[in-house]
């Protein structure tokens, strides 16, 4: 019997033009929590996709309990009791919790679904591990935290012994993260083995036994968490010393440049208000952060502020101009820039070149067109200037098709385009989602520079650390309402977490006195 339940030995996987995994070895002991640490593009996802049967390695072997196995597809992985909670949940929105858990592993009798045994098993698992779910609730009605528990129960229901968690904490509040970590410890005690993919060092320190670090496709090493420090791990991950402090000078706020008064926004699906009676203003030279759990109205708020969604009631002003019902272009022309939440959906036309994408908001200006014909020489000159200024890296400079660029550089391109418009107001939504440490540092610097040059910045992010590090003031949104306003200087993660979960909404209102 081998010491390891899973061994991935000498795994190499090449993609055209890149080696995603270069001779990586990963050994998972029974009953341990093993973190896999690396920046975006380090090869974590590739390695896990190989283990889960989505890719075949070009070289190397996978061993289960010391025996070489072949994993051709996720069904093979399942047979070997390997389960995975994906970063983006794979749930059927209109099915109940129970239906989602048994999906693909249904027990039938004469072709008829037998749910009772399944229900009992699920309830037993819930009890055993302290996972709270409502078996008969529809997925679309439950929160993200419970959805994640459903994903976990899917693995437990299939008696999986090796549990892979892909960036599981990204969508959770600090309190939920604590709960998840307790659950993970519970699984490990029961003898299950856990692979925990993350780029958050404090989580590793909190819960993991050992950690394997990847960098640029290579395995840098495996260390015991007890024998290492955050700084050491960071250096292994990035390859140089990293500072986690975001340096910024004191705020010198000026006039209000973005004002929101009693804003209501109806949701797209059922017309229910997703944003209720929201009022705030952002002054030049300050960063106002909006903290909240995903799906609490942030998306609707931002889309209403930028003209992408209609406002039901209330008023929005940019400077002195009312833009409540203005078109997107009117917003833009009044000096609004917007780093969108989803860079692929909104931020870029992926089939356009980088150069074409960099003029996406001002291609119609006389600078870039003459008599209805685009001036490609000017467009590409502009692009080359931004590529230099913002260090955007791509295969063929301005001629690179945006789709083929890395996420970090795509995001840099968007930031470059939006800042090059010299906006009065910058709305940045999840500006560093999925980026590596270097790119995050850079984009944070740019946002702070924008604030220091007198722009009003509204930062909306699900990453609490990001909101706390960058903001001057923090507004907490819950269920479409601003439930608290706190000075970023004095805010703690625990306090914000409470507001975010809505637990102390009344209390929050009393304490901070936010009444529109």
Partner 1 sequence: MKMTKTRQTHSKRGLISLLASLLSIAIGLLVGFALLNVLNANHAVNGFGKILTTGFATSEKFAKVLYQAMPLILCGLSVAFAFKTGLFNIGAAGQYTMGAFSALAVAIALQQPWYIALLAAALGGALLGAIPGICKALFNVNEVITSIMFNWITMYAVNLTINNMPIMLTNFWSRSSIKDRTAPLADANPSAMLPKGGLDTLMNSNYINIGIFIAVLVAIIMWVVLQKTVLGYELKACGYNRHASQYAGINAKRNIVLSMVISGALAGLGGGLYYLSGTGQYTLVKVLLGMGFNGIPVALLASSNPLGVIFSALFVSYIQVGGDALQPHFIKENIDIIIASIIYLSAFALLLKGWIAKLLLRSSTVKDNPELAEALGAEESGVSEGNADTEPPVRGAEKEDAQ
Min dist. Cβ of residue 247 to partner 1 (A): 30
Min dist. Cβ of residue 103 to partner 1 (A): 17
Nearer to partner 1 by Cβ, of 99 and 436: the residue is: 436
Query: Torsions phi, psi of 212, nearest 5?
Result: -110, 130
Min dist. Cβ of residue 76 to partner 1 (A): 16
Nearer to partner 1 by Cβ, of 14 and 248: the residue is: 14
Nearer to partner 1 by Cβ, of 448 and 460: the residue is: 460
Min dist. Cβ of residue 426 to partner 1 (A): 15
Residues 6+ apart with CB under 8 A from 320: none
Nearer to partner 1 by Cβ, of 45 and 169: the residue is: 45
> Which DSSP category does 92 fall into?
-
Min dist. Cβ of residue 459 to partner 1 (A): 18
Min dist. Cβ of residue 68 to partner 1 (A): 24
Report the C-alpha gap between 251 and 282 in whole angstroms. Answer: 12
The three-state secondary structure class of 435 is: coil
Report the C-alpha gap between 44 and 349 in whole angstroms. Answer: 27
Q: Please report the DSSP string for 376-416 in residue order.
A: HHHHHHHHHHHHHHHT---TTGGGSBGGGS-HHHHHHHHHH
Report the C-alpha gap between 200 and 26 in whole angstroms. Answer: 19
Report the C-alpha gap between 471 and 288 in whole angstroms. Answer: 5
Report the C-alpha gap between 516 and 398 in whole angstroms. Answer: 46
Min dist. Cβ of residue 242 to partner 1 (A): 21
Residues 6+ apart with CB under 8 A from 469: 246, 444
Nearer to partner 1 by Cβ, of 98 and 197: the residue is: 197
Min dist. Cβ of residue 34 to partner 1 (A): 20
| In 218-335, alpha helices (H) | 230-238, 298-306, 328-333
Nearer to partner 1 by Cβ, of 415 and 514: the residue is: 415
Nearer to partner 1 by Cβ, of 118 and 419: the residue is: 419
Nearer to partner 1 by Cβ, of 9 and 328: the residue is: 328
Q: Can you give the three-state secondary structure of 98-111, one letter per residue?
A: HHHHHCCCCCEECC
Could you count the other beta carbons within 10 Å of the beta carbon of residue 514? 18
Min dist. Cβ of residue 21 to partner 1 (A): 9
Binding region for partner 1 (CB under 8 A): 14-18, 20, 40-41, 43-46, 49, 54-55, 88, 306-308, 327-329, 331-332, 338, 340, 344-352, 356, 360-361, 363-364, 369, 372-374, 376, 395-401, 403-407
Min dist. Cβ of residue 429 to partner 1 (A): 11
What is the enclosing helix (H) or strand (E) of 78? helix 74-79
Residue with token string 């903290």: 291
The three-state secondary structure class of 334 is: coil
Min dist. Cβ of residue 300 to partner 1 (A): 15
The three-state secondary structure class of 232 is: helix
β pairing state of 112-113 and 108-109: antiparallel
Nearer to partner 1 by Cβ, of 317 and 352: the residue is: 352
Nearer to partner 1 by Cβ, of 55 and 165: the residue is: 55
Query: Torsions phi, psi of 333, nearest 5?
Result: -70, -20
Nearer to partner 1 by Cβ, of 264 and 376: the residue is: 376
C-beta of residue 52 within 8 angstroms of C-beta of residue 77:
yes
> Which DSSP category does 169 fall into?
T
β pairing state of 313-318 and 287-291: unpaired
Nearer to partner 1 by Cβ, of 222 and 369: the residue is: 369
Q: What order of strands is seen across the sheet that includes strand 313-318? A: 273-283, 256-266, 313-318, 321-322
**What are the tokens at 369?**
């067109």
User: What's the start-to-end Cα distance of the chain, in Å?
Assistant: 66
Nearer to partner 1 by Cβ, of 307 and 314: the residue is: 307
Min dist. Cβ of residue 32 to partner 1 (A): 25
Min dist. Cβ of residue 344 to partner 1 (A): 7
Task: Spell out where 284-345 has E strands.
Answer: 287-291, 313-318, 321-322, 336-339
């Amino acid at each position: 019997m081998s010491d390891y339940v899973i061994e991935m030995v000498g795994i190499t996987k090449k993609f055209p033009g890149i080696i995603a995994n270069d001779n990586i070895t990963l050994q998972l002991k029974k009953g341990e929590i093993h973190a896999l640490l690396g920046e975006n593009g380090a090869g974590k996802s590739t390695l896990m996709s190989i283990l889960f049967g989505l890719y075949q390695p070009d070289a190397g072997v996978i061993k289960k309990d010391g025996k070489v196995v072949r994993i051709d597809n996720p069904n093979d992985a399942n047979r070997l009791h390997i389960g995975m909670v994906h970063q983006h949940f794979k749930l059927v929105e209109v099915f109940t919790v129970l239906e989602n858990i048994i999906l693909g592993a249904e027990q039938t009798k004469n072709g008829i679904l037998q749910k009772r045994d399944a229900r009992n098993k699920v309830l037993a698992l819930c009890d055993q591990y302290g996972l709270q779910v409502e078996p008969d609730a529809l997925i679309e009605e439950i929160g993200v935290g419970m959805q994640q528990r459903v994903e976990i129960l899917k693995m437990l229901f299939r008696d999986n012994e090796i549990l892979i968690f892909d960036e599981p904490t990204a969508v959770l509040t600090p309190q939920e993260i604590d709960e998840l970590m307790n659950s993970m410890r519970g699984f490990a005690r029961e003898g299950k083995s856990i692979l925990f993919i993350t780029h958050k060092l404090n989580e590793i320190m909190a819960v993991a036994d050992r950690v394997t670090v990847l960098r640029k496709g290579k395995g840098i090493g495996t260390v015991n968490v007890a024998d290492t420090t955050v700084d050491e791990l960071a250096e292994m991950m990035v390859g140089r010393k990293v500072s986690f402090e975001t340096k910024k000078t004191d705020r010198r706020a000026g006039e209000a440049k973005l004002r929101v008064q009693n804003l209501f926004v109806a949701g797209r699906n059922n017309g229910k208000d997703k944003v209720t009676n929201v009022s705030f203003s952002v002054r030049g030279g300050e960063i106002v952060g909006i903290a909240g759990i995903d799906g609490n109205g942030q998306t609707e708020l931002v889309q209403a502020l930028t003209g992408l969604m209609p406002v039901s009631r209330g008023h929005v002003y940019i400077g002195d101009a009312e833009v409540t019902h203005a078109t997107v272009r009117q917003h833009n022309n009044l000096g609004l820039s917007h780093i969108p939440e989803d860079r692929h959906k909104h931020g870029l036309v992926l089939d356009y070149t980088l150069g074409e994408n960099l003029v996406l908001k001002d291609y119609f200006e006389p600078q870039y067109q003459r008599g209805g014909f685009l001036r490609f020489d000017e467009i590409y000159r502009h692009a080359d200037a931004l590529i230099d200024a913002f260090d955007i890296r791509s295969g063929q400079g301005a001629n690179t098709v945006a789709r083929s660029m890395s996420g970090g550089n795509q995001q840099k391109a968007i930031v470059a385009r939006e800042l090059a418009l010299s906006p009065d107001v910058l709305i940045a939504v999840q500006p560093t989602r999925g980026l590596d440490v270097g790119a995050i540092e850079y984009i944070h610097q740019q946002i702070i520079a924008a604030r220091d040059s007198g722009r009003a910045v509204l930062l909306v992010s699900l990453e609490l650390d990001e909101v706390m590090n960058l903001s001057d003031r923090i507004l907490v949104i819950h269920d479409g309402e601003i439930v608290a306003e706190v000075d970023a200087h004095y805010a703690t993660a625990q306090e914000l977490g409470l507001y975010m979960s809505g637990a102390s909404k009344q209390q929050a209102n009393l304490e901070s006195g936010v009444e529109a």
